[in-house]
């Protein structure tokens, strides 16, 4: 039973049977007074209010957004309170001040480093000759945990030339350096399969990693320098096996066959783990700027060259493996945020859609019931019959495929196809009420049909309408969640259904990500329990035959 909110015809049959007894109808305030005497109803209302408050305060309770691109920590991060203290937590640091650590100059090249007011630095290199400048960050990122699985470094810089000067050749290579590992000269030993089944040991220096190199990124491996003004705003997200292949020590292997083998082996290495190899380690950013302007080299065609590199502060985000109240999803989104916004959508949209459905049912039911037997009535009855035949879920899928999978389309179809049950029952109530004495009296006084319907019949139905709205909400929310589970939901909607969809299809079960599995399911159960406990209490009062 109740596989969908529309499937419950048997309930309608009993409701129809009950209406034949013409019960005394209670007003809304009487009904609510009776309801608040019941313990279950109070529990239900408190659950609803709890969810509504949590959902309503979502922007206050969480600084993040439920969108998929709002990555707050590593994927499948456990809740903060459930992880031991040495498990990686988020480390976020913006490195703003830089200094020149090393400067090698030939010819009459001048190098000038100025700090920028908003952080970062600006290097101006002029003259003919070559230069190699190593700019390093003053601050370091102290990393106190076990190695994290991933990190995210935001790099933004642009290069330009001085007015009236020639264009020099250059390269800007941003490196992330682990001070401790480099000082100790640690090496990573790769076991590379050699020719004839032998195993070659190849040593890769540990502790530094090229995050963004203009030449390897823009030109490939053909030249050592680049010319032209560019703007770079690139998140370097590690691990990235493609980036592993572009490391200078891999590039420097001359034999292509060996290089490919080593690169393949090194591609499997998690660069983030390599950089954060031990607890209490220190990381800094180094920017290596090389400059080449030789008028005698007619191939390179540079005369009186210049280069300006403006480098923004670098944001280092080491993604934790434990985060927040409820951890993260497979995409690194905050589960707690998604849950809160899901509660907000569920309560708001559930109540809204239930109210709209009930309103449509009321209008149709009144119109059909007040003139039972007329053409209007027959047409409306026929329409409700037709709608009973149309399977809801396949129709939602068809509409989603044709018009797009938006929350609006989904709920529009749900509303269009779920009012008929209520309309039938309201029609029956209206038929019963129509023949009551005060309606006769109003008619005799010359009241219009519209007035009688709205002033004399509709107010009588208010407790039933409230009951209907309350009992429809869980069905609406579950339906949306079910459609999400089929993959036909709105992929942008911040609903529990989308959480369930992502959780089911993105491996939460096999990863045993209980912090991600339980919240949406528990949220749906809480919502349903709240509304159904409240609705059951209303039902016993609205349908007096059940009162014992």
Q: Which is nearer to other proteins, 196 or 435 (CB)?
A: 435
Closest CB 431 distance from other proteins, rounded Å? 6
The count of residues interacting with other proteins (CB under 8 A) is: 52
The two three-digit tokens of residue 231, written as one number: 């703007």
Residue entry with tokens 């083998």 = 261
The two three-digit tokens of residue 322, written as one number: 């434990």
The two three-digit tokens of residue 479, written as one number: 């339906």
Q: Which is nearer to other proteins, 340 or 431 (CB)?
A: 431
Could you tell me if residue 120 is left (phi over 0), alpha (psi between -120 and 50 degrees) or otherwise beta? left
Closest CB 334 distance from other proteins, rounded Å? 21
Which one among 307, 431, 439, 452 touches other proteins, defined by CB under 8 A? 431
Rounded Cα gap, residues 61 and 54, in angstroms? 8
- Runs of H (alpha helix) within 323-457: 335-370, 375-389, 392-403, 407-418, 420-434, 437-444, 449-451
Quick check: 390 binds other proteins (CB under 8 A)?
yes
Closest CB 375 distance from other proteins, rounded Å? 15
Number of residues written out for the chain: 548
Per-residue contact string for residues 337-376; x = within reach of other proteins by CB under 8 A: -----------------------------------xx---
Q: Which is nearer to other proteins, 463 or 530 (CB)?
A: 530
| Chain-centre distance for alpha carbon 108 | 54
Q: Which is nearer to other proteins, 71 or 347 (CB)?
A: 347
Residue ranges in 484-543 that form contacts with other proteins under rule CB under 8 A? 485-486, 500, 504, 509-512, 517, 521, 524-525, 528-529, 532, 536
Beta-carbon count within 10 A of 301 CB: 13
Rounded Cα gap, residues 376 and 214, in angstroms? 74
Closest CB 545 distance from other proteins, rounded Å? 6
Q: Which is nearer to other proteins, 182 or 526 (CB)?
A: 526
Q: Which of 66, 70, 139 is nearest to 98 (CA)?
A: 139
HEC-encoded secondary structure of 227-285: CCCCEEEEEEEECCHHHHHCCHHHHCCCCHHHHHHHHHHHHCCCHHHHHCCCCCEEEEE
Cis peptide upstream of residue 234 (ω within 30 degrees of 0): no
User: Is residue 206 helix, strand or coil?
Assistant: coil
Which one among 45, 283, 343, 399 touches other proteins, defined by CB under 8 A? 399
Q: Which is nearer to other proteins, 49 or 401 (CB)?
A: 401
Q: Which is nearer to other proteins, 3 or 24 (CB)?
A: 3
Closest CB 229 distance from other proteins, rounded Å? 44
Rounded Cα gap, residues 265 and 241, in angstroms? 10
Q: Which is nearer to other proteins, 313 or 422 (CB)?
A: 422
CB 531 within 8 A of CB 474: yes
The residues with which 234 forms a beta bridge, in sequence order, are 155
Which one among 68, 363, 393, 447 touches other proteins, defined by CB under 8 A? 393
Q: Which is nearer to other proteins, 262 or 532 (CB)?
A: 532
Q: Which is nearer to other proteins, 187 or 545 (CB)?
A: 545
CB 2 within 8 A of CB 418: no
Closest CB 392 distance from other proteins, rounded Å? 10
Quick check: 9 binds other proteins (CB under 8 A)?
yes
Parallel, antiparallel, or unpaired: how do β-strands 231-238 and 150-160 relate?
antiparallel
Quick check: 24 binds other proteins (CB under 8 A)?
no
Max Cα–Cα distance, the chain, nearest Å: 111
Closest CB 319 distance from other proteins, rounded Å? 23
Beta-carbon count within 10 A of 530 CB: 24
Quick check: 237 binds other proteins (CB under 8 A)?
no
Quick check: 417 binds other proteins (CB under 8 A)?
no
User: Is residue 169 helix, strand or coil?
Assistant: strand
Closest CB 300 distance from other proteins, rounded Å? 51
Residue ranges in 435-474 that form contacts with other proteins under rule CB under 8 A? 474
Which one among 36, 81, 388, 450 touches other proteins, defined by CB under 8 A? 388
Q: Which is nearer to other proteins, 234 or 536 (CB)?
A: 536
Residues that bind other proteins (CB under 8 A): 1-3, 7-11, 13-14, 372-373, 382, 385-386, 388-391, 393-395, 397-399, 401-403, 431, 474, 478, 481-482, 485-486, 500, 504, 509-512, 517, 521, 524-525, 528-529, 532, 536, 545-546, 548
């Amino acid at each position: 039973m109740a596989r969908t909110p529309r499937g419950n015809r048997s309930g309608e049959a009993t409701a129809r049977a009950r209406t034949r007894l013409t019960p005394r109808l209670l007003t809304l305030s009487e009904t609510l007074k009776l309801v608040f005497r019941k313990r279950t109803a109070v529990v239900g209302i408190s659950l609803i209010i709890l969810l509504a408050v949590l959902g309503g305060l979502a922007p206050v309770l969480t600084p993040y957004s439920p969108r998929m691109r709002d990555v707050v920590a590593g994927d499948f991060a456990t809740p903060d309170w459930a992880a031991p203290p040495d498990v990686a937590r988020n480390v976020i640091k913006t490195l703003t001040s830089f200094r020149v650590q090393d400067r090698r100059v030939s010819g009459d090249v001048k190098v000038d480093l100025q700090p920028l007011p908003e952080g970062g630095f600006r290097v101006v290199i002029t003259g003919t000759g070559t230069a190699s400048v190593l700019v390093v960050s003053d601050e370091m990122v102290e990393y106190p945990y076990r190695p994290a699985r991933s990190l995210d470094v935001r790099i933004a810089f642009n290069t330009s030339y001085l007015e009236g000067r020639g264009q020099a050749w250059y390269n800007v290579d941003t490196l992330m350096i682990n001070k401790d590992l480099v000082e100790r000269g640690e090496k990573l030993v790769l076991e590379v399969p050699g020719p004839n089944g032998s195993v070659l040991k190849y040593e890769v220096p540990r502790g530094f990693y090229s995050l963004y190199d203009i030449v390897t990124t823009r030109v490939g491996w053909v030249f050592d320098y680049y010319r032209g003004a560019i703007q770079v705003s690139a998140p370097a997200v590690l691990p990235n096996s493609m980036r592993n292949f572009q490391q200078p020590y891999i590039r420097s292997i001359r034999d292509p066959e060996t290089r490919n083998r080593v690169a393949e082996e090194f591609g499997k290495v998690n660069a983030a783990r390599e950089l954060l190899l031990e607890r209490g380690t220190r990381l800094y950013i180094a920017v290596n700027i090389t400059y080449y302007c030789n008028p005698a080299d007619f191939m390179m065609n540079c005369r009186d060259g210049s280069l300006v590199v403006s480098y923004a502060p670098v944001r280092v985000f080491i993604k934790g493996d434990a985060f927040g109240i409820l951890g993260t999803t497979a995409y690194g989104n905050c589960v707690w945020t998604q849950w809160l916004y899901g509660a907000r959508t569920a309560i708001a949209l559930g109540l809204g859609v239930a109210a709209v459905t009930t309103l449509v049912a009321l209008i149709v039911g009144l119109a059909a019931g007040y003139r039972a037997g007329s053409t209007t009535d027959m047409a409306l009855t026929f329409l409700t019959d037709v709608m009973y035949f149309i399977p809801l879920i396949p129709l939602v899928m068809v509409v989603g495929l044709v018009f797009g999978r938006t929350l609006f389309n989904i709920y529009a179809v749900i509303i269009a196809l779920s009012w008929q049950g209520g309309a039938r029952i309201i029609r029956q109530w209206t038929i019963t009420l129509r023949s009551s004495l005060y309606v006769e009296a109003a008619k005799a006084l010359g009241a219009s049909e519209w007035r009688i319907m709205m002033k004399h019949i509709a107010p009588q139905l208010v407790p039933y309408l409230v009951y209907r709205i309350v009992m429809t909400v869980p069905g609406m929310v579950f339906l949306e969640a079910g459609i999400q589970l089929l993959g036909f939901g709105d992929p942008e909607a911040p609903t529990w259904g989308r959480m369930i969809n992502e959780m089911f299809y993105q491996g939460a079960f096999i990863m045993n990500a209980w912090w991600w599995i339980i919240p949406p399911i528990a949220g749906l159960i809480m919502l349903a329990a709240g509304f159904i406990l409240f609705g059951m209490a209303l039902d016993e009062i609205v349908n007096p035959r059940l009162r014992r």
